[in-house]
Amino acid sequence: MRPDPTAGAGLPGPAIPPGTGVGGRAGRSAGSLAGKAVVVTGAGRGLGAAYARLAAAEGASVVVNDVDIDAAAEVAASIGAVCDDSDIGTWAGAGRVVEACRSAFGRIDGLVNNAAVFRLASPYQQDPDEFRKVVEVNLLGTAYCGLHAIRAMRDQAGGGSIVNVTSGSHAGSAAMAAYGASKGGVASLTYCWAADLAGTAVRVNAVSPNAHTRMADAFERYLGDRAAGQNVGKDPSTNAPAVVYLLSDTAAGISGQVVRIDGDELSLMTHPGVAAPAVRIPAWTVAAVASAFESDLAHRQQPLGVHPTNA
């Protein structure tokens, strides 16, 4: 962890002028996250910075993590947060960011697993090392931070809230196999951990955001006109209230959900499930399966893409 350079003596801790009563173990006293300690990974820019800013404005003591230390330091300094430059794609780095929060604030109440990398490629040109990098940061990084946080939250009074970050691309999107698969893994992680932690005070949800960020620029550069201005005009800050809500105690009954934010629309993503009704096969043969497809399943193929009209 690298402390925010504006924090003073080079020791980890909140970059807060003495006497403001902000941050530290006491936390802040007003707002929907008053008294809570929250980590936002990849918060040096884009959506993560927006989540960190609103979390701080809502009273949380915040750790701003990003491998881009200059970006992280700037955001941290602007909101009086602790700054951390751990690479969350490693088990040790993920442990460091969670520990940064516990050592600065004494606990970790919230984790926003926002850090990710974005790569676009056709299957004919996909570089296997790039595929690995995407999975390491987006899926393993989310899993590693979550595992460290869940163990810390289990051992503290009050539990905690984890907000993972997935993407509509996991429902099927051309040129996004690595990214979409990593985000599909994040959605599955959310469902599985919510099942693991049912009945405890630790909740796990995910968001599927939309905003014009550096990532959206890369998408537009790659797809040109086919990007269809999908995220133009969508400010990262419009996604932050849903994340802060999920972190807050007001969302105490909400777990295992993927919440989608798109412009002025707020919705829940459907979970993958069995498309009923099943076809009964009295005796398993290839011919019986072919017949089931011919008479029924071929006409009920599931659409690709997050919007059914994309099929």
Ligand X SMILES: NC(=O)c1ccc[n+]([C@@H]2O[C@H](COP(=O)([O-])OP(=O)(O)OC[C@H]3O[C@@H](n4cnc5c(N)ncnc54)[C@H](O)[C@@H]3O)[C@@H](O)[C@H]2O)c1
Chain residues binding ligand X by CB under 6 A are: 41-42, 44-48, 65-68, 71, 87-89, 114-117, 137, 141, 165, 167, 209-211, 213-216, 231
As a whole number of angstroms, the distance between CA 151 and CA 212 comes to 34
Residue closer to ligand X, measured from CB, 154 or 214: 214
Residue 13 CB, nearest distance to ligand X (Å)?
A: 20
As a whole number of angstroms, the distance between CA 113 and CA 236 comes to 16
**DSSP structural state of residue 40:** E
Residue reference for tokens 């520990």:
99
Q: Which residue is nearest to ligand X (CB)?
A: 46
222 counts as catalytic: no
Residues in Cβ contact with 258 at an 8 Å cutoff, skipping those fewer than 6 apart: 166, 187, 190, 205, 206, 207, 208, 268, 269, 271
**DSSP structural state of residue 195:** H
Residue closer to ligand X, measured from CB, 15 or 97: 97
- Residue 46: closest CA among 215, 178, 222, 275: 215
CB 84 within 8 A of CB 13: no
Residue 44 CB, nearest distance to ligand X (Å)?
A: 4
As a whole number of angstroms, the distance between CA 63 and CA 84 comes to 7
Residue 36 CB, nearest distance to ligand X (Å)?
A: 21
Residue closer to ligand X, measured from CB, 116 or 269: 116
Q: Which of 51, 124, 144, 179 is catalytic?
A: 179
Structure-token pair, residue 252: 């105490």
Residue closer to ligand X, measured from CB, 28 or 148: 148
Residue 187 CB, nearest distance to ligand X (Å)?
A: 11
Residue 58 CB, nearest distance to ligand X (Å)?
A: 19
CB 47 within 8 A of CB 209: yes
Residue 177 CB, nearest distance to ligand X (Å)?
A: 14
β-sheet bridge partners, residue 267: 260
Residue ranges of the alpha helices (H) in 43-134?
46-57, 69-79, 91-105, 128-134
Residues in Cβ contact with 95 at an 8 Å cutoff, skipping those fewer than 6 apart: 144, 148
Residue closer to ligand X, measured from CB, 28 or 170: 170
Residues in Cβ contact with 90 at an 8 Å cutoff, skipping those fewer than 6 apart: 144
Which residues are part of the catalytic machinery? 179
